[in-house]
Amino acid sequence: LPHDEVYIETTDYRVIGDAIRVLKIRGAPAIGVAAAYSVVLAVHDPKITSLQDLNTEFYAAINFLSQTRPTAVSLFVALDRMRHLYEQVSHNSILGSQFHLLAEARLIQHEDIESCRKIGEYGAALISPKSTILTHCNTGGLATSGIGTAQGIITTAAQEGKIQRVYADETRPLFQGARLTTLELMKENIDVVLITDGTAGMLMQRREIDAVVVGADRVAANGDVANKIGTYQLAVLAERHMIPFYVAAPTATIDFGTKTGKDIPIEERDPAEITHVAGIRIAAEGVSVFAPAFDITPNQLVTGIVTEVGVLKPPYNESIGKLRPQQLRTAEAAS
């Protein structure tokens, strides 16, 4: 994308795992859903003829998939759910295990769709009429099962007639904003303007941005946010110019076991993603490269975290602390 729209069909979970690793599948919610269905493919392998075979293939898939991306917590949440269910039903039969794991993957997908819808509604309520929004990376239907997280807020607000314009960062080095976000927003007939990552400060200085809305790959228990590299500098700029900075994050993105952003592992990518564009070298041969995929935005720079159960406000230790896993499961059941 944006030149060609190609769908790849496979029954091999390793193909999906590799797609997650190389960012053919990306976006925290989409990674989680894809991982769940990958496990389903693994247990449907025709060579499985015994419960021992099933057990071997299941845990091989879990191990393989858990090593594809280190930062997005949705991957590990989905795999943990599949593992927990499997350990409950695996002693019954191969067919029974296959059935229950497929049902769980479908549930994870359905929850993501509903989560996107609710995030869109809660987030749109924060947007004032005639607003110009700045967003970073890609958080729409290509990154989720539904309308998106941060982009879901934009789309919902646009449907309510609140959006005047959206500025989309190109999002170096892989240009997810230029290639994907602009494409999706244009399909929604939303006025979108593509800018370089370094242009955001100038627009804020000119008072042309009313709010910044971004997604998240992981949120620590204290509200620190891991998101695509370049997010932190937008948060700093937004604070300097007194612009609200909202993070759209499904509760599955909240890592209750990680106290602060300092404890979140930051993935480093292939240097070629920076030294080359579309396979063409743009940097001097032999130059040293630092290529983190994400950065950490401290909680004090975040105006609000929009989830499917409402908008979390500072102090985040308290608002996030109220969303313990058991409470989330209760809320999901009620919805």
- Closest C-alpha among 131, 145, 134, 128 to residue 32: 145
**For every residue of 165-193, which 3-state class applies, written as one string?**
EEEEECCCCCCHHHHHHHHHHHHCCCCEE
Interhelix angle 73-89/94-124, rounded to 10 degrees, is 150
List Cβ neighbours of 186 (8 Å cut-off, separation of 6 or more). 192
Q: Is the peptide bond before 173 cis (omega within 30 degrees of 0)?
A: yes
d(CA 101, CA 117): 25
Backbone dihedral region for residue 296 (phi beyond 0: left; psi -120 to 50: alpha; all else: beta): beta
Name the token pair of 87.
């350990």
User: Which sequence positions are flagged as catalytic?
Assistant: 217
